[in-house]
Each structure stands twice: as structure tokens, then as C-alpha cells.
Amino acid sequence: MKQVGESVRVLALFVFLANFTAGCANVAAYERGKLAHPTMSPSDASSVARDHVYGVQEGAMGGTEGAASGCGCN
């Protein structure tokens, strides 16, 4: 039963992503000026110190840009 539940969840995820993919527009290169704006980048306003604070103070991991190591909290 647990495996069925996992399969349903995975299937739902694929359907969700497929739905988004189907909604994608074929945007020409000359139309991508807004997409290339610096504020659209994940690295804009990023801070290694802030990432580290969240890494130490939140029990969750993953879903962040880039990789780091060590915690400075041992």
C-alpha cells in the first residue's frame, strides 16, 4: 500500500511538471531581454553568509543554489 502511495506521488509530480512543460512558450532569443535581467538570476543578492545562517538554523537541507561544506557549529 505504501508503494502504491509512493507511485501515485511520483506520477502526480510528473503530471505536474508535464503540465508546466506544455505551458512553455517558444521564446526567441531576441525576446529574452527580461529573462536576462540581473535581478532574475538566483545569484542576484545572494550571500554566502545568509546561506550559511539558514543552513545552521533550519533543520532542512537542499533546494539551494550551489554547494557548501562544513557547518562551523560543531
Partner 1 sequence: MRTFHNLLVRVVLGVLLAAGGARAQQNPKANSGSDKPQPAEPAPAEKSSSSSSPSDTVVKTKTEFSAYTDTDSVTVFTPAVQASIENPLSGWSANGSYLVDVVSAASVDIVSTASQHWTEVRHAGTLSGTYKPGTVGGTVSGAVSSEPDYLSLSAGGTVNLELANKTANPSLSYAFTHDTAGRTGTPFSVFSQPLARHTITGSLELILDPSTLVSFSADAILESGDQTKPYRFLPLFAPDVAPLIPRGASINEVNARRLPGRIDEHLPGTRNRFAFSGRVAQRLNGSTLILSERLYADDWGLKATTTDLRFVIDVSRRVFLWTHLRGHFQSSISFWKLAYAGNVSTNGPISVPKWRTGDREESALEAGTFGAGMRFDVGTEVQPTGWSIVAQADVLTTLFNDTLFIQNREGFLGVLQLETEF
d(CA 47, CA 50): 5
Q: Which residue type, as a one-letter code, is found at position 30?
A: Y
**In the structure grid, which three cell numbers stand for residue 63, read together?**
533546494
The yes or no reply on residue 67 touching partner 1 (CB under 8 A) is: yes
Q: From residue 2 to residue 41, what is the string marking binding to partner 1 with x (rule CB under 8 A)? A: -----------x---x--xx-xxxxxxxxxxxxxxxxxx-
The yes or no reply on residue 61 touching partner 1 (CB under 8 A) is: yes
d(CA 23, CA 27): 12
Contact residues toward partner 1 (CB under 8 A) are 13, 17, 20-21, 23-40, 42, 45, 47-50, 52-54, 56-63, 66-74
